[in-house]
Amino acid sequence: MSIKNNRLTQTEYQENFTDIHPPFETPDAALVEANRCLFCYDPPCMKSCPTSINVPKFIKQIATENTKGSAHTIFSSNIMGAGCSKVCPVEKLCEGACVYNLMHETPIHIAKLQRYATEKAMKNNWQLFERKPSTGKRVAIVGAGPAGLSCAHTLSREGIDVTIYEKESKGGGLMTYGIAAYKVTPEFCEDEVNYITSIGGINIKYNQELGKNITVEELQRNYDAVYMAFGVGLARQLEIPGEHLQGVEDAIKFIYELRTNNHASVAVGDKVAVIGMGMTAIDAATQAKRLGASEVTLVYRRTQDEMPCTEHELNIAKLDGCKIIWLAAPKEVLGQDGKVTQLVCDVMHLGAPDASGRRSPIASGETFTLAVDMVIKAAGQMPFESMVNSYSFENSKGKLAVKGKSATSLKGVFAGGDCVNGGREVVDAVQAGKDGAAAIVKHLFGAEYILESELKPTFNN
């Protein structure tokens, strides 16, 4: 057993990391699917979307071959509607709420239709929004991820000049650096960022990290308002013996390496254990298998009923050949010559529910051992608590506290997305960005100010 790269041929890498959700092959296929929609009067699909996309409307527009109007409907609610069509857990959101489920029929392929309209808009560079004349107001945003980009686009539409400070060399945040490569490519993410900023009035300064290149005080002095959207990113440690042996990696780092390098250059073990059962754990496990690992085992301390990932995500891992061990928790990593050789796990059972409502895992006293050469930790992400405390933000263990939906304890500083909620879906971050923009314009222009995006749509093309 060993950790190495170049396990597969170039053709195999290409096949393994091709788009897992292919688009409609022809416009006619999209029209057929759109015409299945019942166009519900009180649509549950729209209610289940955190950004409240008018799903029946955009599908009706596709059905009447008004693709530009459809894209406008989607982007009016979610400027990252193209990316969300690829990464959203639609089985527990819009498609999971589709009334066809009640009739034991296949739900409308909402995400696929959303992708059809939005990708066409991006490909043809349709400019669907007109920026108001500059107001002279300037807003700084920390983080060019979904929350930051959503906030920036909404503010720019109002004629506010926005500067985004991003610590990485590319925008997109989690979309660019933290999601499985077969779901959304880095190239697509770059195209999406460029499309969003093409409205004008948005300047992204890359390689600018809060606390290193810029400070909150500087931003407060130089801008009329500040929006914090720096997310989370510190990997939660297992706190077990042997955790620092060679071959033990954070899932965040593992996925980041895969997103920023050629697939063949990313090293993976022969027998890999992944700790956790969230979306990041699934992404790490499936990608390890697709990189050429002969055996990948997901280890989770609870049962399938308590897992944070969706059934759909779990099935992807199963189809890729990943094994799952329920009711098991890592106890110790053993090694030889400084390298991982075994993972010792406690056999667990479930006790009373914890604060989250899930039953607490309790060690039974029994253990078992897995022979592995790589352990990937995907036990969750932690907020940047030290940095947050250095600026005297009101917070809860590093998660920024906000009043209303966005106002922090610092004057003129707002926040949203993962740095506030601790980590949710991309679509939740997009809505947080919209909420932040709404709070900022009311801060700048008064409580009676109405956002352009809040007005009744008049787009008829």
Determine contact, residues 273/331, Cβ cutoff 8 Å: no
Residue 245, classified by CB atoms within 10 Å of its CB into exposed (0-12), middle (13-18) or buried (19+), is middle
Average pLDDT, integer, range 368-389: 94
- Percentage, residues of the chain above pLDDT 90: 90
User: What token pair was written down for 39?
Assistant: 């166009």
pLDDT tier at 353 (50, 70, 90 boundaries)? confident
Query: Is 372 a residue whose pLDDT tops 60?
Result: yes
Q: Name the residue with tokens 């999601």.
A: 179
Is the sign of the CA dihedral 119, 125, 130, 133 positive or negative? Answer: positive
What is the C-alpha separation between 78 and 279, in angstroms, rounded?
22
pLDDT tier at 453 (50, 70, 90 boundaries)? low
Q: How many CB atoms lie within 10 A of CB 100?
A: 14
Determine contact, residues 363/329, Cβ cutoff 8 Å: yes
Is the sign of the CA dihedral 418, 421, 427, 433 positive or negative? Answer: negative
Question: How remote is the C-alpha of 59 from its chain's centroid?
Answer: 24
Query: Is 111 a residue whose pLDDT tops 50?
Result: yes
Query: Is 182 a residue whose pLDDT tops 60?
Result: yes
Which pLDDT belongs to residue 459? 38
Average pLDDT, integer, range 277-291: 96
Q: How many CB atoms lie within 10 A of CB 421?
A: 18
Average pLDDT, integer, range 364-393: 94
Over residues 168-178, the pLDDT tens digits come to 999 999 999 99
Determine contact, residues 430/145, Cβ cutoff 8 Å: no
Q: What are phi and psi of 303, to 5 degrees?
A: -100, 175
Determine contact, residues 273/343, Cβ cutoff 8 Å: yes
Residue 387, classed as helix, strand or coil, is: helix
Q: What are phi and psi of 58, to 5 degrees?
A: -70, -30
Label the pairing between strands 359-371 and 339-353.
antiparallel
Over residues 25-67, the pLDDT tens digits come to 899 999 999 999 999 999 999 999 999 999 999 999 999 999 9
Strand partners, 349: 362
Q: Which of 115, 79, 111 is nearest to 97 (CA)?
A: 111
Task: Look over the chain and give the mean of its residue pLDDT values, rounded to a whole number.
Answer: 94
DSSP assignment letter at 4: B
